[in-house]
């Protein structure tokens, strides 16, 4: 387990796409891409709308990096819910003066979307800037401007994270906004970035209480990173998965490029984040039917023949519809095989991480990931979701080098010691004649003899016998 400061330079190394938090148009499919909207094919799925609201004022770089580090592990935990959820995530930021007073210093980085790579892209583009942090205003924007699920059984969650007083908005009352939220079936959870003993923490508690949510205080400037022996294998599988995506549509290429960019962003943090991202890519929640043909054909309403050839990659444009269908089906089977390996490796990784967390568990404020996961699990259970059995807490067996016991010095007088008979190396023969050692071999033998004299008594340790 490695505990590092979230705002360290290492956490930001290699993030080539980091930009100022300006509005970037979300990837949207054009109406000519297919017949009708592409929707999830899983009829038994249940909707989960997760809205993350981050304070991006000057002191919140640690919070932002904690969200970057733990995005994929949070999604992976939701993938264990039953019935299978259809997850949409929205990212809002507040507290930066560049957003303007007319917005309440709030910006919607992404609408509620299944495009998790877009959420990651926005997270890595965030920068901090001092400003007014109005909790009431960011909750209001979430309720008014996002298109929430119409499913009466959906789990609708808002997480507001910050470190200033939750009740400082001069125009809107945070308690009233929380009451409005629960009236719409939306639970508001608050995460205070600081000690729960501070006076400001009480306001965050009250906001959560008014919206049937949960309150947590976290150490936002630290993050727990657990790297495992399975991370490298998961990175290799992640690269293999990328080769199974058959993009289409006007935004297909852009989406594919962003997928690779987010792989690099996760790896720029550490191998643990990259491994967690791979597990997400192998799960049912990483579902991109508006950009990928293999996901699109899961929807029975999707017509492969309706995709215009000019909206396909050049290597697919030359295929007939029969050939294209066969290629998509074959690629889908290949992906399923890789996903099974990812799932198996992911279970082993989870078991390792759980064992490490159990050994390192201690007192103090929660971490960002713990605060969100504990809340989501409890609130999902209240909405009828169950969790699949967790992996057993067992440490994986790893290959370790064999260490020979040290040579015990002999106490018998030198005259009474019996010399072990020297074993002659078998002679190599070719066509009935002995092979003479080459000049290089003879020179190497002299080197070994010289080393043996210098290290007399340690022959066994150096492997000279």
| DSSP letter string, 293-315 | HHHHTTSTT--GGGS-GGGS-HH
Residues paired with residue 303 on neighbouring β-strands, in sequence order: none
Q: What is the pLDDT, as a whole number, of residue 154?
A: 93
Residue written as tokens 């809205």?
51
Are the CB atoms for 352 and 292 separated by under 8 Å? no
SS3 content of the chain, % helix, strand, coil (to 5): 45, 15, 45
Of 56-60, 96-100, 375-379, 447-451, the poorest mean pLDDT is in: 447-451
- Concatenated DSSP letters of 36-77: S------TT-EEEEEEEEEE-STT-HHHHHHHHHHHHHHHHH
- Give dist(CA 461, CA 72) in Å, integer: 47
Query: Residue 39: CA atoms inside 13 Å, Cβ hemisphere, count?
Result: 8
What is the pLDDT confidence band of residue 304, given thresholds at 50, 70 and 90? very high
pLDDT tens-place string over residues 323-372:
999 999 999 999 999 999 999 999 999 999 989 888 876 656 678 888 99
Q: What is the pLDDT, as a whole number, of residue 40?
A: 39
Residues paired with residue 160 on neighbouring β-strands, in sequence order: 53, 190
What is the pLDDT confidence band of residue 280, given thresholds at 50, 70 and 90? very high
Of 156-170, 204-218, 427-441, the poorest mean pLDDT is in: 427-441
Q: What is the pLDDT, as a whole number, of residue 366?
A: 74
- Give dist(CA 296, CA 401) in Å, integer: 48
Domains annotated for the chain, with CATH where assigned, are: 2-10+44-387 (3.40.50.410)
Return the structure tokens found at 270. Answer: 């550490």
What is the pLDDT confidence band of residue 288, given thresholds at 50, 70 and 90? very high
Return the structure tokens found at 62. Answer: 């640690």
Residues paired with residue 91 on neighbouring β-strands, in sequence order: 52, 110
Parallel, antiparallel or unpaired: strands 155-162 and 186-193? parallel
| Mean pLDDT, residues 222-242 taken together | 93
Q: What is the pLDDT, as a whole number, of residue 221?
A: 75
Q: What is the pLDDT, as a whole number, of residue 453?
A: 54
- Give the percent of the chain with pLDDT over 90: 63
| Mean pLDDT, residues 237-257 taken together | 96
> How much is the pTM?
0.75
Q: What is the pLDDT, as a whole number, of residue 362?
A: 61
- Cα 296 to Cα 112, 206, 258, 329, 357: the distances in Å are 19, 44, 19, 11, 38
The greatest distance separating any two alpha carbons of the chain, rounded to the nearest whole angstrom, comes to 101
Q: What is the pLDDT, as a whole number, of residue 85?
A: 92
If DSSP codes are grouped into helix, strand and coil, which group holds residue 214?
coil
What is the pLDDT confidence band of residue 25, given thresholds at 50, 70 and 90? very low
pLDDT(402) > 50: no
How many residues are there in the chain? 465
Q: What is the pLDDT, as a whole number, of residue 391?
A: 57
Residue written as tokens 């259970």?
381
User: pLDDT higher for 345 or 428?
Assistant: 345
Query: Residue 319: CA atoms inside 13 Å, Cβ hemisphere, count?
Result: 17
Of 113-122, 256-265, 438-447, the poorest mean pLDDT is in: 438-447
pLDDT(252) > 90: yes
| Mean pLDDT, residues 88-101 taken together | 95
Parallel, antiparallel or unpaired: strands 215-218 and 186-193? parallel
What is the pLDDT confidence band of residue 273, given thresholds at 50, 70 and 90? very high
CB atoms within 10 A of CB 13: 9
| Mean pLDDT, residues 80-102 taken together | 94
Are the CB atoms for 354 and 123 separated by under 8 Å? no
What is the pLDDT confidence band of residue 220, given thresholds at 50, 70 and 90? confident
Mean pLDDT of the chain: 81
User: pLDDT higher for 450 or 3?
Assistant: 450
- Give dist(CA 156, CA 151) in Å, integer: 10
């Amino acid at each position: 387990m490695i505990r590092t400061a979230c705002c360290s330079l290492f956490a930001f190394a290699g993030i080539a796409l980091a930009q100022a938090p300006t509005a970037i148009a979300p990837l949207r499919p054009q109406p000519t891409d297919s017949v009708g909207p592409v929707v999830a094919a899983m009829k038994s799925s249940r909707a989960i709308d997760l809205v993350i609201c981050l304070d991006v004022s000057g002191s919140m770089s640690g919070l932002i990096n904690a969200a970057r580090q733990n995005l994929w592990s949070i999604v992976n935990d939701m993938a264990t819910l039953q019935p299978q959820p259809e997850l949409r995530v929205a990212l809002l930021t507040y507290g930066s003066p560049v957003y303007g007073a007319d917005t309440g210093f709030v910006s919607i980085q992404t609408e509620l979307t299944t495009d998790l790579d877009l959420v990651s892209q926005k997270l890595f583009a965030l920068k901090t800037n001092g400003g007014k942090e109005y909790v009431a205003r960011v909750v209001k924007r979430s309720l008014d401007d996002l298109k929430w699920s119409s499913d009466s059984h959906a789990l609708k969650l808002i997480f507001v994270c910050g470190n200033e007083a939750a009740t400082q908005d001069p125009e809107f009352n945070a308690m009233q906004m929380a009451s409005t939220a629960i009236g719409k079936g939306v639970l508001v959870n608050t995460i205070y970035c600081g000690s729960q003993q501070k006076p400001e923490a009480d306001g965050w508690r009250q906001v959560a209480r008014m919206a049937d949510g949960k309150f947590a205080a976290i150490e936002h400037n630290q993050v727990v990173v657990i790297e495992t022996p399975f991370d490298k294998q998961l990175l290799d599988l992640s690269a293999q998965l990328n080769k199974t995506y058959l993009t289409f549509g006007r935004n297909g290429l852009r989406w594919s490029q962003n997928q690779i960019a987010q792989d690099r962003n996760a790896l720029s943090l550490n191998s643990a984040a990259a491994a967690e991202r791979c597990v997400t890519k192998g799960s049912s929640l990483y579902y991109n039917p508006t950009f990928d043909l293999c996901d699109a054909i899961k929807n029975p309403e999707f017509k492969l023949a309706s995709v215009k050839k000019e909206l396909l990659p050049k290597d697919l444009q030359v295929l007939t519809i029969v050939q294209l269908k066969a290629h998509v089906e074959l690629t889908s089977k290949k992906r399923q095989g890789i996903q099974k390996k990812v799932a198996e490796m992911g279970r082993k990784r989870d078991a390792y991480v759980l064992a490490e967390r159990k050994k390192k568990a201690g007192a103090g404020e929660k971490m960002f990931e713990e605060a969100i996961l504990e809340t989501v699990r409890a609130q999902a259970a209240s909405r009828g979701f169950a969790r699949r059995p967790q992996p057993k807490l067992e440490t994986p067996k790893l290959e370790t080098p064999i260490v020979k016991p040290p040579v015990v010095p002999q106490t018998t007088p030198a005259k009474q010691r019996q010399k072990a008979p020297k074993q002659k190396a078998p002679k190599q023969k070719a066509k009935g004649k002995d092979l003479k050692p080459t000049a290089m071999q003879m020179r190497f033998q002299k080197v070994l003899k010289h080393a043996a004299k210098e290290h007399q008594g340690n022959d066994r340790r150096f492997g000279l016998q």
